[in-house]
């Protein structure tokens, strides 16, 4: 985890770039993905993708009262689908959601959803209140258009 790369730009001085997106900027852009390529002798191309993220990723944690059965991965997925069905009906339940990781011990998971369905999934998770007639709550810990970003969250950096 590093604050900023002030100088790494100096490394790239020799790279000529081709920006594929138009230079105007708009605040609704949800993600930017820039790729540079440097091949030894020839100038490298530059690709800028805006709002290109196909998927969004959410790191969530399920909170359950102590004791009682904990859901396994399949039940967890079923719970997410139930939440979607409750709020958005059958159409919502059909939203493809992937449970990329699930840890039964901590009840935390990483979900993947198509970017256009992020709001639906998020709202459904937030409004879910019961699991098997027990109170429960989903906490969305982090959300990002890049899966890589979920592996390092500076807000969770604890130093002591």
Question: Is the Cβ–Cβ distance between 117 and 95 less than 8 Å?
Answer: yes
- Rounded Cα–Cα distance for residues 77 and 98 (Å): 8
If binding is defined by CB under 8 A, does position 18 make contact with other proteins? no
Question: Is the Cβ–Cβ distance between 53 and 149 less than 8 Å?
Answer: no
CA angle in degrees (0–180, nearest 5) for 74-70-77: 25
User: What angle, rounded to 10 degrees, do the helices at 118-127 and 73-93 form?
Assistant: 120
3: three-class secondary structure by DSSP: coil
For other proteins, give the closer residue by CB, 66 or 90.
90
For other proteins, give the closer residue by CB, 87 or 141.
141
If binding is defined by CB under 8 A, does position 85 make contact with other proteins? no
CA-to-CA separations, 29 to 26, 83, 133, in angstroms, rounded: 6, 28, 40
CB of 92 to other proteins, least distance (A): 17
If binding is defined by CB under 8 A, does position 22 make contact with other proteins? no
If binding is defined by CB under 8 A, does position 47 make contact with other proteins? yes
Residue numbers 129-158 binding other proteins by CB under 8 A: 142-155, 157
Question: Is the Cβ–Cβ distance between 101 and 110 less than 8 Å?
Answer: yes
Stretch of 32-40, 60-68, 87-95, 131-139 lying at the interface with other proteins (CB under 8 A): 32-40
For other proteins, give the closer residue by CB, 133 or 148.
148
Q: How far apart are the first and last CA of the chain?
A: 17
Q: Total residues contacting other proteins (rule CB under 8 A)?
A: 62
- 47, β-bridge pairs: 35
For other proteins, give the closer residue by CB, 94 or 135.
94
Stretch of 4-12, 61-69, 85-93, 123-131 lying at the interface with other proteins (CB under 8 A): 4-12
Q: Which residues sit at the interface with other proteins, rule CB under 8 A? A: 1-9, 11-12, 25, 27-40, 45, 47-50, 52, 54-55, 57, 73-74, 77, 96, 98-102, 110, 112, 142-155, 157, 159
């Amino acid at each position: 985890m590093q604050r900023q790369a002030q100088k790494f730009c100096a490394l790239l001085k020799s790279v000529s770039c081709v920006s594929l997106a138009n230079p105007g900027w708009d605040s609704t852009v949800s993600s930017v993905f820039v790729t540079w390529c440097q091949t030894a002798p020839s100038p490298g191309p530059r690709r800028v993708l805006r709002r290109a993220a196909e998927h969004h990723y959410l790191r969530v944690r399920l909170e359950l009262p102590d004791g009682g059965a904990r859901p396994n991965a399949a039940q967890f997925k079923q719970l997410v689908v139930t939440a979607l069905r409750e709020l958005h009906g059958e159409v919502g339940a059909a939203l493809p959601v992937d449970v990329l990781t699930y840890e039964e011990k901590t009840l935390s998971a990483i979900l993947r959803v198509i970017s256009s369905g992020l709001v639906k999934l998020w709202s459904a998770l937030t409004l879910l209140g019961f699991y098997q007639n027990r109170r429960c709550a989903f906490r969305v810990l982090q959300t990002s258009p890049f899966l890589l970003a979920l592996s390092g969250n500076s807000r969770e950096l604890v130093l002591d």
